[in-house]
């Protein structure tokens, strides 16, 4: 599979949302029907009209951490930035350090003077991914409070962490928000549950690789990033029980899709799982367990758009995206939502 034009579309940069909508569930919702090709324009709170008793809504409960630290080299005073990628052990992390060519093993970077928090570079690895260690008397939970919200570069506005966090986030570990879930309010989730729709949670900690563009012209040559995830026995049972009675599995976000499809068998049974996934879902992929998808509008030529195109069809999705541009939908992390049925 070559040429990525089928994953490309034109976007007016003015449509890139800089702030979330309030209330959260008042964002616009484009409903795409795979069977008929029909496209509807609704509000997100109208999602209740497309769910029914027995369905199962699956959400990613990963919580965004303040992953970005700004500091200075203790010896030279030069400005440095540390971006946490993955927790290793104690106070050690895999992190990006920049400017990376000026960062050396043994460097001490002061990221807070009062209280003193110092980042020491332990080793340097490939692609600028280095092992760093926080030297501080504070526990790691306290240290993380001195970081900054790791907003995507296309969001220029000042945003607080709560705005970039889902209302149900509980397990710390993501460096980017699973943004499809930002549209839910606690009241909307309660309303959905009272309809007889079961709600359950999986965990996938979102890494930077989620947003990397596909650089190869051949999709089959793209190396998918690895992300850690967890499905409990309880969540697996809830999802399998819903399928057994004919309920639809409604995945909220591409992260949830990757988790469910990674841990599902060919017989459409979901297994409890703790590990990592490199699953790259692209057009032609045979879905095993996901029946409907809630997602945001994604960057062109990305693995996210490839997944959405695989779930519907690339023709239908690009048609929907071009309509969204014409209708002035809001795009990306704080943008509007799409429900694919």
Residues 264 and 227 in one domain: yes
Task: Tell me how far apart the alpha carbons of residues 191 and 69 are, in angstroms, rounded to a whole number.
Answer: 39
Cα gap 305→132, rounded to integer Å: 33
Q: Are 199 and 75 contained in the same domain?
A: no
Neighbours of 168 (CB within 10 A): 16
> Is residue 335 assigned to a domain?
yes
Stated pTM of the model:
0.93
**226 domain-assigned:** yes
Count other C-beta atoms under 10 Å from residue 150's C-beta: 19
In a domain, 116, yes or no: yes
**Do 138 and 23 share a structural domain?**
no
Q: How far is CA 254 from CA 30, 134, 135, 293, 330, in A?
A: 16, 32, 36, 8, 18
- Looking at residue 13, its pLDDT comes to 93
In-domain check, residue 131:
yes
Please report where in the chains the tokens 């026995």 appear, as a residue.
233
Handedness of CA 34, 38, 41, 45 (dihedral sign): negative
Q: Rounded to 5 degrees, what are φ and ψ at 94?
A: -85, 130
What is the CATH number for 280?
3.40.1780.10
> What are the strands, taking DSSP E only, across the chain?
28-32, 39-43, 56-60, 62-64, 68-73, 79-89, 92-98, 108-113, 116-123, 129-135, 171-174, 198-204, 227-231, 249-252, 273-277, 292-296, 337-340
The answer on 86 and 35 residing in a single domain is no
In a domain, residue 151? The reply is no
Mark whether 41 and 115 lie in a shared domain. Answer: no
- The CA distance from 331 to 24, in Å, is 15
The CATH number of residue 110's host domain is 2.40.10.240
**pLDDT in the model for residue 2:** 53
Tell me if 166 is assigned to some domain: yes
Would you write out the chain's pLDDT as a tens digit for each of its 341 residues?
456 778 899 999 999 999 999 999 999 999 999 999 999 999 999 999 999 999 999 999 999 999 999 999 999 999 999 999 989 999 999 999 999 999 999 999 999 999 999 999 999 997 788 999 999 999 999 999 999 988 888 898 888 999 999 999 999 999 999 999 999 999 999 999 999 999 999 999 998 776 667 777 777 778 887 889 999 999 999 999 999 999 999 999 999 999 999 999 999 999 999 999 999 999 999 999 999 999 999 999 889 999 999 999 999 999 999 999 999 999 999 999 999 99
Q: Are strands 198-204 and 56-60 parallel, antiparallel or unpaired?
A: parallel
**Which domain does 131 fall in, by range?**
68-146
Same domain, 46 and 94: no
Kindly state whether residue 141 falls inside one of the protein's structural domains: yes
On whether both 180 and 258 belong to a single domain, the answer is yes
Pull the structure tokens for residue 128: 């600028």
Q: How many domains does the chain have?
A: 2
Q: What does the pLDDT read at residue 210?
A: 66
Give the per-residue pLDDT at 217.
75
pLDDT score, position 226: 83
* E-state strands within 124-211: 129-135, 171-174, 198-204
Same domain, 256 and 224: yes
128 and 276 housed in the same domain = no
| Degrees to nearest 5, angle at CA 234 with 250 and 261 | 45
């Amino acid at each position: 599979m070559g040429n990525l034009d089928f994953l490309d579309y034109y976007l007016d940069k003015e449509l890139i949302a800089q702030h979330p909508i309030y209330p959260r569930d008042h964002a616009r919702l484009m409903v795409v029907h795979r069977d008929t090709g029909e496209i509807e324009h609704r509000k997100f709170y109208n999602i209740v009209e497309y769910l029914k008793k027995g369905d199962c809504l699956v959400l990613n409960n990963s919580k965004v951490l303040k992953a970005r630290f700004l500091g200075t080299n203790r010896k030279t005073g030069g400005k440095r930035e540390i971006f946490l990628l993955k927790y290793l052990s104690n106070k050690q992390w895999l992190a990006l350090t920049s400017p990376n060519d000026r960062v050396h093993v043994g460097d001490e970077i002061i990221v807070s003077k009062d209280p003193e928090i110092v980042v020491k570079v332990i080793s340097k690895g490939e692609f600028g991914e280095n092992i760093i260690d926080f030297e501080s008397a504070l526990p790691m939970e306290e240290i993380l409070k001195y970081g900054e919200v790791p907003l995507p570069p296309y969001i220029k506005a000042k945003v607080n962490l709560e705005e970039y966090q889902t209302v149900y986030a509980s397990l710390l570990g993501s460096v980017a928000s699973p943004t499809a879930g930002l549209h839910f309010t606690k009241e909307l989730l309660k309303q959905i549950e009272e309809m007889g729709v079961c709600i359950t949670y999986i965990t996938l900690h979102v890494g930077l690789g989620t947003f990397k563009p596909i650089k190869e012209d051949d999709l089959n040559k793209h190396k998918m990033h690895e992300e850690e995830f967890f499905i409990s026995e309880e969540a697996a049972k809830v999802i399998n029980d819903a399928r057994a009675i004919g309920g639809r599995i409604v995945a909220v976000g591409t992260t949830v899709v990757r988790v469910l499809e990674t841990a599902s068998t060919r017989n459409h049974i979901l297994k409890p799982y703790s590990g990592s996934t490199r699953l790259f879902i692209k057009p032609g992929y045979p879905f095993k367990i996901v029946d409907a998808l809630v997602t945001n509008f994604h960057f062109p030529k990305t693995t996210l758009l490839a997944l959405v195109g695989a779930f519907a069809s690339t023709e239908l999705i690009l048609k929907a995206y071009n309509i969204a541009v014409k209708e002035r939908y809001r795009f990306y992390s704080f943008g509007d939502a799409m429900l694919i049925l």
